C-alpha cells in the first residue's frame, strides 16, 4: 500500500468517525429536546406534529450524512487525493 493510499484511507476513516459522531449528536439533541418539551405541548394534535417533524429531521439528516459518506467512499481517491496534494504543495511552499 502506497503512502498516498494510506493517507487517503486515514482521512476517509476520520470522516466516517466524524460523521458517526455527528449522527449520534444529532439524535441525542433532537430526542433530548423532544422529551424535555413534551410535557409542555398543550394537545395531542400538536404533539403528533412535533413528533412527525422530529422524525423527519432525524430521518432526512441521517440519510443525507450516510449518502455523503457513501459518495466519499466511491470518490475517495479523487476527493482526498486532491486535498493531500494541495496540503503538500502548501506545506512545501512554506518551507
DSSP string, 38-94: GGG--SHHHHHHHHHHHHHHHHHHHHHHHHHHHHHHHTHHHHHHHHHHHHHHHHHHH
Q: Is the pTM of this model over 0.75?
A: yes
* Residue 51 pLDDT: 97
CA torsion through residues 30, 31, 36, 42, sign: positive
Is the confidence at residue 95, as pLDDT, over 70?
Answer: no
* Residue 24 pLDDT: 98
Average pLDDT score over residue span 71-81: 91
pLDDT tens track for 20-39: 999 999 999 999 999 999 99
Q: How confident is the model at residue 1 (pLDDT cuts 50, 70, 90)?
A: low
Amino acid at each position: 500500500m502506497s503512502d498516498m493510499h494510506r493517507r487517503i484511507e486515514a482521512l476517509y476513516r476520520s470522516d466516517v468517525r466524524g460523521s458517526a459522531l455527528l449522527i449520534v449528536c444529532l439524535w441525542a439533541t433532537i430526542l433530548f429536546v423532544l422529551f424535555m418539551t413534551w410535557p409542555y405541548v398543550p394537545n395531542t394534535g400538536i404533539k403528533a406534529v412535533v413528533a412527525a417533524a422530529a422524525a423527519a429531521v432525524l430521518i432526512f439528516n441521517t440519510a443525507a450524512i450516510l449518502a455523503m459518506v457513501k459518495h466519499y467512499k466511491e470518490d475517495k481517491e479523487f476527493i482526498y487525493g486532491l486535498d493531500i496534494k494541495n496540503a503538500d504543495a502548501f506545506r512545501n511552499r512554506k518551507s
